[in-house]
Structure 1
């Protein structure tokens, strides 16, 4: 065999091996390999943050970056609910959440961006009209949660948005079509109005028929049945007291934790954290939770007695080296400290 012919054979052999390797990598990407089922998880984690922390950021771009940083922290530590509360004590227009006129206060802006980022990319165009608040969201790092699935990823659950079934052929009378980011539309055996976000249990991932069959389930089902983290919900509270009293859970939060530089060092009480079903961790703004208590007309205590509102009043970073710890920094420090305890004590 001459030299040139041998070289050509070696080149073709190498090229074939490289293509085979690339093919294997592509096939791996079809599975959501970063998601691990931890087993059924009934307990929930709620974080409460004041909307005023966004007002302290200068300019729309920096405000957007701040919310993006917070959203990343929430999903890294598997937070199930985030509450944005008004710590100013100034009444706000109640219907402002329904407006899309380009004007948002800090609470609306905060909630708008958190909800946008939690939504899978293939649903955002349908659920979020063009708005000034979202101008710089393209600069943010993606959350890449388990429910932010690619088009070819096989997974037992998916998020989708209901469609107007009358616009599509051969849809059974009592069924609804859903866009779920797949190559085919999904068919569910429920009548649901168009434009509603739904969680789907995928009975199949592909079909020889026109549509894929699935079942609508509760958004908490992936977590409660298999332990998959399925993003966070966002609600607004008009005051600090509303954070505690307007819980979506039947019996409220059974473990509440307030954070402050004037709290008890976390190391001193970490072995005295009780079991819980629904934990709530509350953070203050630039002036702390004390200022939020003073501004809350529904509370009959002053800021000097704020610790009475919580089961635990903690300081997760004693002997800090700077005058203040920013709320977004305190969020990461606190959740990192509490992660192992939450997993151990949650029921």
Structure 2
């Protein structure tokens, strides 16, 4: 079965503090890699990194998480072009490969490929899509170094730049950093018509709400799933911002009733919640 893009589309919001409290860059990289794999496995379209009001250095923490996830999401043949040497990527080799459709193996023939504009020639541009030869596309308005999605023509030497949202199969996730906190995040997505699900061990037990949630998944087009971190839960952040988490979200859910461990790691929470929602999305 191909990993098709179907509704409802999932977006995930992660706090800037997601990797806080993890002592080494090596372990932070490894943990971020688990998150990235989960996002890809369950076909998340977008991940938003928002500011935790309790995070002492949100800019650094947010930037690190975004850099690691962006690197992991980028096809391997484009990484050297798009990521200059960066100390934050010292342990990038620990990031597990995604093996999504937009990460083809070397020599694998696919209809679409991610590429980078390497040169402009008149009204055309040359794109490196990881093949033996550059692909020629019409149009020269892209800057050199821009990442694009290319649909290859049958001749294998030319193609056209397309919007990846028009591709019927899953084509990776977009990473977006924002400079605001929980309140603005939820208000923005609520105004866009998203179903907003917050996660917390103090929320409604999933076994109590799964039936109504299953029906809501059938009705909505887009879902925002919001996570706290091991350091700062969503209720902690809400109190720090002076807001009511329950009123800003459609549901606050405990996805692990009677959890056996005192705390659940952030990457574990992402895997658990997305796996349950994916199941509810397809159950009859």
Q: TM-score, normalised by structure 2?
A: 0.90
Compute the displacement of 1:91 (Å): 9.0
Say if 2:197 and 2:250, in contact at 8 Å, map to a contact too: yes
Whether 1:282 and 2:226 are equivalent positions in the alignment is: yes
**In structure 2, how many angstroms separate the alpha carbons of the residues matched to 1:184 and 1:45?**
36
Change (3 A) 1:267 1:43: same
Whether 1:58 and 2:7 are equivalent positions in the alignment is: no
Per-residue Cα deviation, 1:34-68 (whole angstroms, up to 9, x for no partner): x7254x63542111111212121111111111111
Whether 1:244 and 2:186 are equivalent positions in the alignment is: yes
Q: Alignment partner for residue 200 of structure 1, among 144, 150, 155?
A: 150
Compute the displacement of 1:193 (Å): 1.6
**In structure 1, how many angstroms separate the alpha carbons of the residues matched to 2:55 and 2:227?**
19
Q: Taking CA–CA contacts closer than 8 Å with sequence separation of 6 or more, which of the two structures ends up with the larger relative contact order?
A: 2
**In structure 2, how many angstroms separate the alpha carbons of the residues matched to 1:44 and 1:343?**
13
Q: Alignment partner for residue 176 of structure 2, among 235, 239, 245?
A: 235
Higher Rg: 1
Q: Which residue number in structure 2 is paired with residue 99 of structure 1?
A: none
Per-residue Cα deviation, 1:268-291 (whole angstroms, up to 9, x for no partner): 211112121110011112231011
**In structure 2, how many angstroms separate the alpha carbons of the residues matched to 1:242 and 1:91?**
19
Higher mean alpha-carbon deviation, 114-123 vs 212-221, is at 212-221
Aligned pairs, number: 277
**In structure 1, how many angstroms separate the alpha carbons of the residues matched to 2:67 and 2:249?**
28
Specify which structure has the higher proportion of strand.
Answer: 2
Q: Which residue number in structure 2 is paired with residue 267 of structure 1?
A: 207
Q: Which residue number in structure 2 is paired with residue 127 of structure 1?
A: 82
**In structure 2, how many angstroms separate the alpha carbons of the residues matched to 1:53 and 1:91?**
12
SS in 2 for 1:55: coil
SS in 1 for 2:276: helix
Alignment of 1:1-347 (within 5 A): 36=2, 38=4, 41=6, 43-88=8-53, 105-165=60-120, 171=121, 173-191=122-140, 192-204=142-154, 206=156, 212-222=157-167, 226=168, 228-237=169-178, 238-247=180-189, 252-273=192-213, 274=216, 275-286=219-230, 287-296=232-241, 300-301=242-243, 305-343=244-282
Could you list the runs of 4 or more consecutive aligned residues of structure 1 that deviate by over 6 angstroms after TM superposition? 90-93
Say if 2:197 and 2:225, in contact at 8 Å, map to a contact too: yes
Q: TM-score, normalised by structure 1?
A: 0.74
**In structure 1, how many angstroms separate the alpha carbons of the residues matched to 2:108 and 2:131?**
9
**In structure 1, how many angstroms separate the alpha carbons of the residues matched to 2:83 and 2:126?**
20
Compute the displacement of 1:142 (Å): 1.2
**Tell me, which stretches of 5 or more residues in structure 1 are unaligned?**
1-34, 97-104, 166-170, 207-211
Compute the displacement of 1:140 (Å): 2.5
SS in 1 for 2:199: strand
